Amino acid sequence: MADVQFKLSLIWVALMLSYLLGDVLRIFSGDAASGKMGDMAQFTQGMWLGIAILMVIPILMIVLTLILPEPISRWANIIVAAGFFLFNLVGLPTYPGAYDKFLLAVGLGFNLLTVWVAWKWA
């Protein structure tokens, strides 16, 4: 049981690292310098808070996977990973950079792997 929890936590760590790599590359490429996304107006504090909440979820999943009881952890991993898969799939076309599309595709793979490992957890 602990082996599966460790694997799932490790996949969440890998997902977070791929997100962080995308953020770093976005900064270095100049894509994030304006504080805007595409044609949207300047980000508000509420938007930044929403982004922070969204991005803390995978971090929480690392810890929750290790401390929650197996049935709850299993379903939490499946639901959250499926939610992130759908969220990123919808957002994929909005990223102009090839590096962003590549890293989001890698993230989608991590989401699928999370669902598969949690589904097989018995």
Rg (CA), the chain: 15
Which residues have C-beta within 8 Å of that of residue 85, sequence separation ≥ 6?
Answer: 108, 111, 112, 115
Which residues have C-beta within 8 Å of that of residue 62, sequence separation ≥ 6?
Answer: 9, 12, 13, 16
Q: State what percent of residues in the chain have pLDDT above 90.
A: 74
Q: Is the CA virtual torsion 77, 82, 42, 16 positive or negative?
A: positive
Tens of pLDDT, residues 80-90: 999 999 999 99
DSSP string, 64-94: HHHHS-HHHHHHHHHHHHHHHHHHHHHHGGG
Average pLDDT, the chain: 91
Range among 25-29, 40-44, 48-52, 115-119 with highest mean pLDDT value: 115-119
CB 104: neighbour CB atoms within 10 A?
20
Tokens of 97: 């950079």
Which residues have C-beta within 8 Å of that of residue 75, sequence separation ≥ 6?
Answer: 118
Question: How many domains, in total, are found in the chain?
Answer: 1
Q: State what percent of residues in the chain have pLDDT above 70.
A: 91
Residue range(s) defining the domain that contains residue 22: 2-120
Higher-confidence residue of 77 and 122: namely 77
Tens of pLDDT, residues 9-47: 999 999 999 999 998 998 888 876 555 555 566 888 999
Scanning the structure block, which residue is given the tokens 């939490």?
A: 76
